[in-house]
Structure 1
Amino acid sequence: MVKAREVKTAQEARAIVEERGLSHVKVGLFDTDGVMRGKYMSRAKFLSSLEKGFSFCDVVLGWDIKDQLYDNTRYTGWHTGYPDAPVRILPESCRDVPFEDDMLLFLAEFDGRAQALCPRAVLRRVIERCRSLGFDPCAALEYEFFLFDETPDSVRNKGFRNLKPFTPDVFGYSILRNSVHGELYREILELSERMDFPLEGLHTETGPGVLEAAIAVDGVEAAGDKAALFKTFIKVLAQRMGLMATFMSRWSSEYPGQSGHIHLSLRNSGSGDSAFFDSSQPDGISQVMRQFIAGQQRLMPQFLALMAPTVNSYRRLVPGYWAPTGASWGVENRTTALRAIPGGDTSQRIEYRLGAADANPYLALAAALGSGLYGVMQQWQPSEPVAGNAYSLELENEQVLPGTLWESTQQFKASEAAQELFGSDFVEHFSASREWEEREYRRHVSDWELERYFEII
Structure 2
Amino acid sequence: MDAGEREHRRDRASGVVDELGRRGVVAVAITWVDHSGITRVKSVPVARLPWAAAEGLGSAEVFDAFLLDDSIVAGRHAGGPDGDLRLHPDLDRLVVLAGQPGWAWAPADRHAQTGERHPQDERGFARVMTERLAGRGFRVRAGFEVEWALGEQTDDFRPVTTAPAYGHARQVELSDYSAELLSALAEQRVDVLQFHPEYAPGQFELSTAPEEPVAAADTAVLVRETVRAVSARHGMRVSFSPKVVAGGVGNGGHLHTSLSRDGRPLLSGGSGRFGLAPEAEAFYAGVLRRLPALCAIGAPSVASYLRLVPSRWSGPFAAWGLENREAAMRLVRGRSVEVKCFDLTANPYLLLGAVLAAGEAGLAEGGGLPEPVVGNPADHPDAPRLPTSLGEAVAAFEADAALTAAMGREFAATVADVRRGEIALFEGVDEDEVARRTRWRH
Corresponding residue SS for 2:331? strand
Deviates more, 1:331-340 or 1:113-122: 113-122
Instruction: Kindly indicate whether residue 319 of structure 2 is the aligned counterpart of residue 334 of structure 1.
Output: no
Structure 1 gaps of 5+ residues are: 1-7, 450-457
Letter in 1 for 2:179: R
Q: What is the aligned counterpart of 1:406 among 384, 387, 391?
A: 391
What one-letter code is carried by the residue in structure 2 that aligns with 1:381?
Answer: G
The one-letter code of the counterpart of 1:207 is A
Partner in structure 2 of residue 72 of structure 1:
75
**Shift in Å, 1:34:** 2.7
**C-alpha deviations, 1:54-98, integer Å up to 9, x for none?**
321223223212221212342341xxx244212222111101022
- Which residue is equivalent to 1:377? 364
Does the alignment pair 1:361 with 2:348?
yes
Is structure 2 residue 225 aligned with structure 1 residue 232? Answer: yes
- The alpha carbon displacement at 1:17 in A equals 0.9
Instruction: Please say which of residues 305-314 and 185-194 is displaced more in the overlay.
Output: 185-194
TM-score by length of 1: 0.86
Question: What is the match of residue 105 of structure 2?
Answer: 105
In structure 2, the gaps of 5 or more residues are 1-7, 435-442
CA contact (8 A) 1:125 1:422 kept: no
**Residues 286 and 59 of structure 1, relative CA distance in 2, 3 Å threshold:** same
The amino acid across from 1:165 in the alignment is: P
Q: Find out whether 1:311 has 2:311 as its counterpart.
A: no
- Is residue 2:245 matched to residue 1:260? no
CA distance, structure 2, for counterparts of residue 381 and residue 67 of structure 1: 43
Q: How many Å separate the matches in 2 of 1:216 and 1:337?
A: 21
Instruction: Say which structure, 1 or 2, has more relative contact order (CA 8 Å, 6+ apart).
Output: 2
| Post-superposition offset of 1:290 | 1.0
Aligned counterparts of 1:41 and 1:88: Cα–Cα separation in 2 = 12
1:213-266 alpha-carbon deviations (Å, 9 max, x no partner): 111211111000000121222122212211011111112234222211111011
Question: Is the CA contact (8 Å cut-off) linking 1:73 and 1:433 kept in structure 2?
Answer: no
- Of 164, 167, 172, which residue of structure 1 is paired with 2:161? 167
Aligned residues: 421
Evaluate the alpha carbon distance shift between residue 182 and residue 446 of structure 1 in structure 2; reply closer, same or farther with a 3 A threshold: closer
SS at match of 1:218: coil
* Preserved contact between residue 196 and residue 205 of structure 2 (Cα < 8 Å): yes
Cα distance in structure 2, aligned partners of 1:53 and 1:342: 44
Sequence identity percentage: 26
Secondary structure at the counterpart of residue 260 of structure 1: coil
- Aligned equivalents of 2:432, 2:170: Cα separation in 1: 34
Q: Superposition pairs for residues 79-98 of structure 1, below 5 Å?
A: 81-98=81-98
- Encode CA deviations 1:397-417: one digit per residue, 9 max, x unaligned: xx4422211121122122101
Question: Hey, what's the Cα distance between the residues in 2 that align with 1:436 and 1:282?
Answer: 42
Report the Cα distance in structure 1 between the residues aligned to 2:402 and 2:101, rounded to whole angstroms: 47
Which of 102, 107, 115 is equivalent to 2:118?
Answer: 115
Aligned to 1:423: 408
**CA separation of 1:45 and 1:56: change in aligned 2, threshold 3 A:** farther
- How many Å separate the matches in 1 of 2:266 and 2:422? 39
AA in 2 matched with 1:277: S
Matched, 1:146 2:177: no
Partner of 2:175: 182
* 1:40 correspondence with 2:31: no
Structure 1 CA distance for aligned equivalents of residues 409 and 188 of structure 2: 35
Amino acid at match of 1:410: A
Structure 2 length-normalised TM: 0.89
Assess, with a 3 A threshold, how the Cα gap between structure 1 residues 101 and 242 changes in structure 2: closer, same or farther: closer
Structure 2 residue identity aligned to 1:290: E
Distance 1:249 1:23 in 2: 35
Change (3 A) 1:352 1:445: closer
1:86/1:114 contact within 8 Å kept: no
SS of 2:144's partner is strand
Alignment-mate amino acid for residue 377 of structure 1: A
Deviates more, 1:291-300 or 1:35-44: 35-44
The residue type paired with residue 386 of structure 1 is V
Give the stretch that moved more between structures: 44-53 or 310-319.
Answer: 44-53
How far did residue 443 of structure 1 move?
6.1
Q: Give, as a single letter, the amino acid of the residue that structure 2 aligns with 1:257.
A: G
Q: Is the 8 A contact 2:62 2:78 kept in 1?
A: no
Q: Secondary structure at the match of 2:318?
A: coil
Matched, 1:137 2:140: yes
Tell me the alpha carbon deviations over residues 264-295 of structure 1, each in whole angstroms, 9 at most, x when there is no partner: 01122x3x221332344442111111112211
Give the partner amino acid of 2:65. G
Query: What is the CA-CA distance between 1:45 and the residue it aligns to?
Result: 3.7
What is the CA–CA distance in structure 2 between the aligned matches of 1:24 and 1:354, rounded to whole Å? 37
**For the aligned residues, what is the CA RMSD?**
2.3
Q: 1:441 to 1:114 in 2, by over 3 A?
A: farther
Deviations 1:103-131 (A, max 9, x none): 32222121127722122122112212211
User: 2:14 matched to which residue of 1?
Assistant: 14
d(CA) in 2 for partners of 1:19, 1:181: 34
Please give the per-residue CA displacement for 1:29-65, whole angstroms capped at 9, x wherever unaligned: 2222232222331445421232233321223223212
Q: Does the Cα contact within 8 Å between 1:278 and 1:285 map onto a contact in 2?
A: yes
Q: Which residue type is aligned with residue 130 of structure 2?
A: I
SS of the aligned residue for 1:115 comes to coil
Q: CA deviation at 1:23?
A: 5.7
Letter in 2 for 1:166: V
Stretch moving more, 103-112 or 310-319? 103-112
CA distance in 2 between partners of 1:358 and 1:28 (Å): 16
Cα distance, 1:262–1:37 mapped onto 2, change above 3 Å = same
Report the Cα distance in structure 1 between the residues aligned to 2:433 and 2:268, rounded to whole angstroms. 50
Structure 1 pair 170–363 and aligned structure 2 pair: CA distance change class (3 A)? farther
8 Å CA contact 1:307–1:354 kept in 2: the answer is yes
**Pair 1:386 & 2:379 matched:** no
Runs of 4+ in 1 over 6 A off after TM superposition: 445-449
